[in-house]
Amino acid sequence: MDSTSKQTTSQRKRSSFVSSNSNRTVSSLASDSADGGLNEFNQPVSASPRKSSVKSQKPSLSPNKNSPLRSNTTHNKPTYSAISSPNKAPWRPPGRYQIPDILKSSENTLRPVNASIKTAARSKKSHLAATLSSTNKIKHSPGPDSAKKPAQPQAPIATTNTPQKRPWVPVGRSPQVLPLPALPAAKSNRPHALFDSKMRKILPKLKIMDLNPREQYVGLTKIGSGANGAVVRASKRSNSKYRVAIKRCFIDDTDTPHLAYILREIRIMGCISHANLVGLKEASLWGDYVWLAMDLMSCSVFGLLCNISTGLPEPLAVCVLRECLQGLIHLHNKGYMHRDVKCENLLLSSTGEVKLGDFGLATPISRNNTARLGTAKWMSPEVIREIPYDEKVDVWSTAITLIEIMDRVPPLYYLESTDDIFAEILWGPAPHFTFASPSNNIRDIASWMLDQDARRRPGAKDVLQEINRQINDGYLECASQADLAYFVQHVFDKAD
């Protein structure tokens, strides 16, 4: 009985407690629904309706228009849905971290887009579209009349590497330097065709060689150098006794004066043959050089003077003078003047021959010659004044050369300024011997050849006739070629 009564009593107390609590909970729910005091976690906020305001009021989960506990305060109804997504971030005013970086975005737009970035963007876009379509299907169920359409197969995304597009560049001057136009094609396959045609025109065919000179000549040894290039000694491959001196001249098609200099020398040496003039054996244009095979000589008179302490004795000087005059007479008879007679251009052979060479400044006598050409200390007054002159300028230069042979130096050797040299020649005393002691006959012949007036100056033929007359009369002594050859051999043997 006691246990039964105790159980009944406890059951009564429990039922009364539940009923009282249930009434209180319902009333509090009613008041909270009117005041907006419950949040989504059913936590009571405030039970008094007087403390509620428009800002703190929230829409209820199930609003009831007929509820007597509804607030009388007028406010606008919310336009958004009562059911909000729990993942949606609450609205916040834009802060510093949300300000877009315009410069960075402009760099990204101007930068070329890689194919991998384009592919990633396309896949992201397709994924977003699929997500939106599934969300719409959940929120809005299709009506009974709508038929289910089969899904369209998506085209495969191209994964090939597309060429990158160059960024846009403003229209303006191109920064690249355009290449020069191609040079016009040569009219001939041979190099230096113009020079080659002129050389073939002035030379006999027998003196033109079309083969490689390096294959035709052997034993090339340098023996000197000039303004046009080096001079070497060589012998023919087919005949070792055939020895020549080869001058190699560079051909530059743009250097017209230099080409004219070479052509003049080729014309005279190739077309005029004399025992006292250096002759041309053959010529060959190979590559950028013209090879001139000439008579091989032992040395020049200038080279001989450099190896002795005094000038040549008078008999040897007269011998050299006679040989030089014979070469000039033949050159003048052919219609040319030399314009550069000096010891450097007088060559000696091992047998005592004397030959005049270097015809680069030679010119026809028939032309109106007024150009100041030659070497300053050997120039005649009319050449310095640049008035018309003829072959008698060679007679003046030969007289200066005679003084150089016997004195070992030319007159005015102590002057270096060209203006001073010209002034001394025009208005100074007549050139004369300084260190040598020649005979009066040689002094008179030299003074006769150095007349300031070219009209009174003798020709080369007149001077040679006078020297031969005095030699025959015994007034002058002249050495033989054998004596000259012995002297040259003795000097160079002693120098070695």
* Residue extents of the structural domains in the chain: 193-295, 299-495
Q: With 50 as the cut, is the pLDDT of residue 123 above it?
A: yes
Give the residue, 287 or 331, on which the prediction is more confident. Answer: 331
Class of residue 97 by CB neighbours under 10 A (exposed 0-12, middle 13-18, buried 19+): exposed
Q: Are 313 and 390 in contact (CB under 8 A)?
A: no
pLDDT recorded at residue 312: 96
Mean pLDDT in the chain? 77
Q: Residues 375-399: what's their mean pLDDT?
A: 97
- Topology at the third CATH level for domain 299-495: Transferase(Phosphotransferase); domain 1 (1.10.510)
Q: Are 374 and 397 in contact (CB under 8 A)?
A: yes
Q: Are 435 and 408 in contact (CB under 8 A)?
A: yes
Residue with tokens 């495969």: 156
User: Helix crossing, 392-407 with 314-333: angle to 10°?
Assistant: 160
Q: With 90 as the cut, is the pLDDT of residue 392 above it?
A: yes
Strand partners, 44: 38
Give the residue, 68 or 194, on which the prediction is more confident. Answer: 194
Per-residue pLDDT reduced to its tens digit, 130-141:
665 555 554 444
Q: With 70 as the cut, is the pLDDT of residue 227 above it?
A: no
Q: What angle do CA 265, 270, 276 make, to 5 degrees?
A: 85
Q: Is the dihedral of CA 325, 327, 328, 330 positive or negative?
A: positive
Is the whole model's pTM more than 0.85, yes or no? Answer: no
Per-residue pLDDT reduced to its tens digit, 43-72:
444 444 444 444 444 444 444 444 444 444
235-268 as b/e, with b when 16 or more CB fall inside 10 Å?
Answer: bbeeeeeeebbbbbbebeeeeeebbebbbbbbbb
Task: State which CATH number among 3.60.40.10, 3.40.50.800, 3.90.209.20, 3.30.200.20 fits the domain covering 193-295.
Answer: 3.30.200.20
Q: Residues 388-412: what's their mean pLDDT?
A: 97
Indicate if 483 belongs to the active site.
no
Q: With 70 as the cut, is the pLDDT of residue 293 above it?
A: yes
394's tokens: 């060679």
Residue 247 assigned ligand-binding role = yes
pLDDT recorded at residue 467: 97
Of 1-5, 199-203, 255-259, 492-496, the least confident = 1-5
Per-residue pLDDT reduced to its tens digit, 412-460:
999 999 999 999 999 999 999 999 999 999 999 999 999 999 999 999 9
Give the residue, 47 or 14, on which the prediction is more confident. Answer: 14
Strand partners, 247: 231, 292
Q: With 70 as the cut, is the pLDDT of residue 99 above it?
A: no
Q: With 90 as the cut, is the pLDDT of residue 213 above it?
A: no
Give the residue, 26 or 289, on which the prediction is more confident. Answer: 289
pLDDT recorded at residue 130: 62
pLDDT recorded at residue 36: 43
Most confidently predicted of 35-39, 55-59, 116-120, 447-451? 447-451
Q: Residues 271-292: what's their mean pLDDT?
A: 91
Largest CA distance in the chain: 197
Per annotation, catalytic residue among 340, 358, 407, 451: 340
pLDDT recorded at residue 179: 59
d(CA 125, CA 269): 92
pLDDT recorded at residue 255: 87
- CA gyration radius, the chain: 59
* Domains 193-295 and 299-495 agree in fold: no
pLDDT recorded at residue 469: 97
pLDDT recorded at residue 193: 84
pLDDT recorded at residue 153: 57
